[in-house]
Amino acid sequence: MIRVGDSTEDLSTISIKLVVAKDGSGDYQTVQEAIDAVPANNTEPVKIFLKNGVYKEVVKVPANKPFISLIGENPEKTILTYDNYAKKPRPEGGTYGTGGSATVYLYASDFVAKNLTMENSFDESLVEGGSQAVAVYTRSDRMTFHNVRFIGNQDTLYANGGTQYFSQCYIEGDVDFIFGGARAVFEDCDIVSVDRGSTTNNGYITAASTNINEPYGFLFVNSRLTSEAADGTVYLGRPWHPGRDPSAVASVVFKNCELGAHIHQDGWTDMSGFSAKDARFFEYQNEGPGVNLSRPQLSDDEAKQFTVENVLKGWNPK
């Protein structure tokens, strides 16, 4: 086994593989230790293999460490978890806030995650009115997630900027649980809305804040929207305007997806005084009991523009 710190010269010739194991059988016992061992401004891929285990830690991949891959042994048994939440007091004063509550922070380009779970385990029933609690925060380009499970409740996945590709992923939450201003594609994914027990409103899948100058935001294609929530009680999304920014005009498209009966017949709804009708919300050739063709639909010609490459600025991760 080769450690990154053993020979920086090896970085130019091979893809280094580090092993993280809770039981001490690998190179490191925490995920962050392995990431910290990667030299800044590395130019070659570094693969970090995570053995099965529950890693309770806040993980950060800084912007100056691109080309890192986190590869789990099993998506249901390799778990990165923490339980910070927006309303939680910080030791130095104030609260963590939504952006400060994440379990995993990903700032580096060309990042890859496979075969693991990223979770925020905060129990929202412990705080009156609940609280935002982010599992993963992403803000960089050409980030790939394959067979990854994202687990949380409110604000599970904060795709705040850059370009990301999610394939065969499982994303679970209830309120605004896929949100932010990134350009992102979700292909062949399971989008699971947690049942909050309401007979009228069990949450919102997306809360995009796409900048008006960006032609694309979130694209869901060939994915499945499921829930045990009551029929017609979950919205596809609502428009998020951070700080009431008028230039944040959400762009979300569901294309060739299976929509369960939990999807509200209106599909989209307003947020904080901003109308869903002013956002860029569309569907195309979806199927299932949650479909309502009276909602905004793309034409055939318009739908042809919503490809993986176009959304991801010409990058094709496949």
CA–CA distance, 214 with 157 (Å, rounded to integer): 20
**Which uninterrupted H or E stretch holds 162?**
strand 157-167
**Which uninterrupted H or E stretch holds 59?**
strand 59-61
Token pair for residue 4? 């990154």
Show the DSSP H helices in 212-289 as ranges: none
How many Cα atoms are found within 13 Å in the side-chain-facing hemisphere of 29? 3
SS3 content of the chain, % helix, strand, coil (to 5): 10, 40, 50
Q: Is 190 a catalytic residue?
A: no
Q: Is 105 within 8 Å of 60 (Cβ atoms)?
A: yes
Catalytic one of 36, 176, 270, 278: 176
* Closest to 240 measured CA to CA, from 204, 186, 265, 287: 204
Q: Is 50 within 8 Å of 72 (Cβ atoms)?
A: yes
Token pair for residue 46? 């570094």
Token pair for residue 37? 């061992």
Q: Is 202 within 8 Å of 226 (Cβ atoms)?
A: no
Coil, strand, or helix at residue 178? Answer: strand
Q: Is 110 within 8 Å of 67 (Cβ atoms)?
A: yes
**Enzyme catalytic residues:** 176
